[in-house]
Chains A and B, each alone.
Chain A
Amino acid sequence: MRPVYMISGGITKFAKARPDQDFRCMVKAALDYALADLGGRLTVREIDGSVISYFSDHFTRQLKAGAMVQDFVGMCPKPHVRIEGGGATGGLCFQSAYEAVASGRFNVCAAMGFETMSSVETWKGNDFIALASDTKFDYPLGGFYTGYYAMMAVRHMHEFGTTEEQMAKVAVKNYGNAVHNPFAQHRRAVTVEEVIASQMIAYPLRRLTTCVMSDGAAVCLLASEEQARKFCDQPIRIAGIGSGSDTMRMSDRPHGKVPLLPHESPDDYPHLKYPGVHSFRAGRNAASEAYAMAGITDPRAEIQAWELHDAYASAELQQYEDVGLCKYGASGRFADEGRGLLGGPHPVNPSGGLLACGHPVGATGLMQLVFNFWQCQSSIARHFGDAHCQVPNVQRAAAYSHAGTGTYVTISILEKP
C-alpha cells in the first residue's frame, strides 16, 4: 500500500433542519468548501471517484441516494460506492476512500457523507435508528438506542463507580468548546447543574448528555503523495487506520480478558471481565490496529488531539478507556481532573463533539476528520474565525467513529508529515 494524504475538507453548518437544501445540495456545499480551500487548483475533473456515506434510506426517503449525489456534483461516469455502517458510516467511508487511494486504484478520491434526519420527527427518527438493533430480540422491547447505551452506562457506573456528575462534566466541556465552533448546532455553554437538571431520557442519560438529530454534510478529499503535493500546500498524512466490530445484541457480549494496548500490562486488569456491557471491544480492536499501523506505542504521548464519538456523554468516558487515554475504570477521574479539556493534557472533542455539533449520521465521522485535518494544519482559526479550539502543536490527531453500542468502530489517525 502506498502513502495516502488528506488534502482538504469541508462541512456544512449542522442544523436541526435544512428544508432549503436537499442532501445533494448539502454535499455539494461541503465539497465546494473543500475545493475552495485548495484555492481552485483541484476541480471535480481531477477526482477519480468517490465513496459516499449515509446511514438510513428511511431518513433519506430515497434509495440509491449516493448515485444522486455523484450525479449532482458532476462526477458521472466515474466510479462511486455507497458505504453504510450505522453511526460509524462516516468513519468507514473515510477508510474505504483511503483504501481506494492506497491500493493505487484512485489518485484522488472524495469521501462524501450526509444525513437528513429532519425528514421525520425525533420519535420516528429514534424508531429508524432502533431498526439498527436486532429486530427480533431487541427492537420489540422498546426500540430505543438511548436505552441500550443507558444500560451500558449503568453497568459502567456499577463496575467503576462512574457518576452522573462525571458524565455532566463531559457535556460541559464539549458544549463549552462548541461556543467557538461556527459549524456546531448547539453553541451555548452549560453548567454541570444545568446538565443534571435537564430532562431524563433514559436513566442516567439526560437531554444534555444525549446528542440531537441533525441535517448536514461533510467531505474529505484524499490523494496519493504525488497528487497531494500538486494540489495542496499542507497535506496531512493518514498514518493509521483501524476498525473493529462487536455482537449486534448487547446480550451476547462476552466476559473475557482485556486485549492490551502497547502501553498496558496484564497487571492493569487482574479481575476485569471484558468487554461485558461496560466497554467497547470494537474500539479497543480499532485502536490496536490503528496504533500498530501508525507505529504508536503510547497514544497518551503520541496523539495530541482527539475527536471521540460522544453521541452520549457516557460513551465518551467509555472511549477514553478503549483508546488507552486512561485505564479501564479511570475515565470518571479523567473527567474530574479535566484531562480532556482544551488546555489539558489530552484534549478530546475540541470541536464540541457530537453533543454540540450534532450527529447527521453519514456526515459525522467525516466531520471529525475534517476537524482533525484542520487541527494538524493549525488552520482552525481560519475556518472557525476563532483560534480558541486550536490545540497547540498537533503532530497527530485521531478520530473515533462508532455505531450501535459498538458494533462497528473505526479509528483514523492523521499525522503532520
Chain B
Amino acid sequence: MATATRLPEPTHGPWVTNLDPLQFQWSFSVNYNVSYAQDSPFFHALAKRKLLGSECQACNYRYATPRTVCMSCGGATAWFELPTTGRVHSWTVCHFSGEPYLDQCPFTLALIEFDGVDTLFMTRVIGSGEDEMRIGMPVSAKFRRKKTWSVTDVYFVKA
C-alpha cells in the first residue's frame, strides 16, 4: 500500500486582514444545551400569557423576577401571578447594542414596577421611544403569539 508523503493542500484558508503583523479572522460557534431548570415554570407561564413572580414563604418579600430562594431571609419562595399592568420605574432607548441585537436598534428597555411587589422586571417596551417614555408611565404586558421560549415572549406597551 502506497504511503502518502504529501499533505493535501487546503482549498480555502483563513481570511487574512493584514500582512505585518499577520492578522486573520477566526470564527467559533457553539450549540449549548441550556436548561431553565428551576425557573422553567416562569417560561411555561409566559406561554399561557401569564407573568409569574416569586413570593418568600417566610417573610412574604415579593419578587417580580423569579428567585428560588429569598435574598433577604433565605426562605423558600413560591410562585404567584403578577399583575399584567404596572408602571415604568426606569427606561432607556438603545441606539447601539451587541451584535445579535444591532438590527433591532433603536429599541426601548425598561424596568417595570408593580403594586404590592418589592422588586422590578426588566423588559422591552414596544411602540414608545424617547418622546413618550416617562418614569411612572402606566404599561401593560403583551405576549407573543408564537413562542420563542425566552424572556422576550413578554413585552410591555403604554397602557
User: Does A126 sit at the interface, judged by CB under 8 A?
Assistant: yes
Flag if A252 contacts B91 (CB, 8 Å): no
Q: How far is the CA of A151 from the CA of B110 in the complex (A)?
A: 7
Interface positions of B (Cβ within 8 A of A): 18, 21, 23, 26, 28, 36, 39, 63-67, 71-72, 89-102, 104, 107, 109-111, 118-124, 130, 135, 150-152
Flag if B90 contacts A277 (CB, 8 Å): yes
Closest to A255 in B: B118
Flag if A126 contacts B120 (CB, 8 Å): no
Among the interface residues B39, B72, B135, which one has the most CB atoms of the partner chain A within 10 A? B135
Q: How far is the CA of A277 from the CA of B64 in the complex (A)?
A: 15
Shortest Cβ distance from residue A164 to the other chain B in the assembled complex, whole angstroms: 12
**CB neighbours of B111 from chain A (8 A):** 151, 250-251, 277
Number of A-B residue pairs with CB-CB distance less than 8 Å in the complex they form: 133
**CB neighbours of A200 from chain B (8 A):** 93, 95
**CB neighbours of A152 from chain B (8 A):** 90
- List 30 interface pairs A-B (beta carbons < 8 Å), by A numbering: A20-B21, A61-B26, A123-B99, A126-B96, A126-B99, A136-B151, A137-B65, A141-B122, A141-B124, A142-B104, A142-B107, A142-B109, A142-B124, A143-B98, A143-B101, A144-B97, A144-B98, A146-B96, A147-B94, A151-B109, A151-B111, A154-B91, A200-B95, A202-B93, A202-B96, A204-B92, A251-B122, A253-B119, A253-B120, A254-B71
**CB neighbours of B97 from chain A (8 A):** 123, 126, 142-144, 147
Flag if B65 contacts A251 (CB, 8 Å): yes
User: Does A72 sit at the interface, judged by CB under 8 A?
Assistant: no
**CB neighbours of B110 from chain A (8 A):** 151
**CB neighbours of B109 from chain A (8 A):** 141-142, 147-148, 150-151, 202
Closest to A206 in B: B95
User: Does A19 sit at the interface, judged by CB under 8 A?
Assistant: yes
Among the interface residues A123, A142, A200, A247, which one has the most CB atoms of the partner chain B within 10 A? A142
Flag if A252 contacts B135 (CB, 8 Å): no
Flag if B92 contacts A147 (CB, 8 Å): yes
**CB neighbours of A123 from chain B (8 A):** 96-99, 102
User: Does A339 sit at the interface, judged by CB under 8 A?
Assistant: no
Shortest Cβ distance from residue B84 to the other chain A in the assembled complex, whole angstroms: 17
User: Does A140 sit at the interface, judged by CB under 8 A?
Assistant: yes
Shortest Cβ distance from residue A403 to the other chain B in the assembled complex, whole angstroms: 17
Contact with B along A130-174 (1 / 0, CB 8 A): 100000111011111011101111110010000000000000000
Flag if A249 contacts B122 (CB, 8 Å): yes
Among the interface residues B89, B120, B122, which one has the most CB atoms of the partner chain A within 10 A? B122
Closest to A21 in B: B21
